[in-house]
Structure 1
């Protein structure tokens, strides 16, 4: 029975990774597709390969997820806690994907873990949740917004005398690199989160210890499922990120992707913090768009669908009116 519970839990964890892939694939490629730097099929294939590569670049985020948020539960009850956490995260991923909302799969998973742990009577490491989840959840979007603004400002200054058409063609090519970096960072962050869950399941089943390195098969399984999910695509969310927040051109797309990738690499390697790729790229797009003019960004777009509003609810001054449905 314990073996069956372990297999089921790992299977659900891998399915969560799959939903993470098609839910968050838009994070890496939406800007490149919307600016026509890459075709959708080529962008998805590139993102799948880079997600696969990123999964093997470290283990710091996986360690944070498996050891730093909740006390490892024991026995069949422990497997039940992990199962409940994963199912909750999967349901949220599917709901937000259906409505085309760029929601964070990472925070859905962390919220599921904390909620299931509280319901199951397992200790929650609130200091770890605060330092590794809550604080980065608020800081990373602010950093993404400011960094996106500064990077785009620097690009406009450096290319102020360049021919606009030639510059756009050059940035369209450069976006291939920036999109690859974004996909690599996504694999580095999000594949490791599931690795942490699988490792926790193996520890509960007394198959592995936390001192052991992450088994190669775990890395391969998580990376492959993330890549398969990425190749399945997330067109609903891609439209939100690529068009509904701001109409992007190649320089803006390059600036947003470069900003997002840089933040993900820095947090993974320096702080081992599992940040949301969705929050980072969305805020970077907003920061880039704000260099044009503040009301060029459709600030309410990520939440419009959940309020039942329309695409007319764009300027910030209409926020209350749109929310009330008038």
Structure 2
């Protein structure tokens, strides 16, 4: 009998077993659940059941591991370790918050040789677990990226994101000025294609592949009708949602390499995506709320200066 610890709160049963018995396959685990050999507090459960602290997990005799022990984690290059430490804007015993630069991928993929996930060992402290990503940002999007120091904290934060308990605010510079100047974009989205070449498009509500997507927006300033500074708050979490929603208003995000076509690229301005994850407000795993903001990346600061937009100072992180 194993007892679920506080750090394992809200973790799925199959992930709990991968942590304690990494050699047991998903298929074997599901069979043990179906036959009632694995029980939680005496009850039959499914592999996707989420656990609570203090629960008792009945573990039947498990197969002996036949796979060799994993190799020791490689030591991260000093340069990469210094780079990721410079990104830290907030840190405590439960969470780390980074200000990710534009152009750096969150995770690996075809043709990606450097990304945040490969650099996380640079934030490990002593024998503590390797920090974990809780969510993602597009490669071209800069701004706040949340990490968990332990698997249990990661589970709590992931639950907060699923429950829409995390408020995310983005800043964007768009080509053109939306009309009206504020409101909610309620435009379903659909994916066309697969893999790195896939694109997201505005979809008809009756399209069976369409997913609901909603974004609050507000124009914070504008340079005539040519450019605007927008505050964007996604109410759903679809891939490329903010970028496609801005395009659907007829005001694509400046420098967007994928959406907006030629209109998004303007001579005299950096040809990079002007989308920045500015602030996060979330329930802290240890209680209360955490609010963090991030400075603009260099290319957006330059564009703000050129257009006369005044961002002001960045508030210090606050936990209350």
TM over 0.5: no
Name whichever structure is richer in helix by fraction: 1
TM-score band by shorter chain is under 0.3
Report the TM-score, using the length of structure 1 for normalisation: 0.25
Report the TM-score, using the length of structure 2 for normalisation: 0.26
Name whichever structure is richer in strand by fraction: 2
Flag the structure with larger Rg: 2
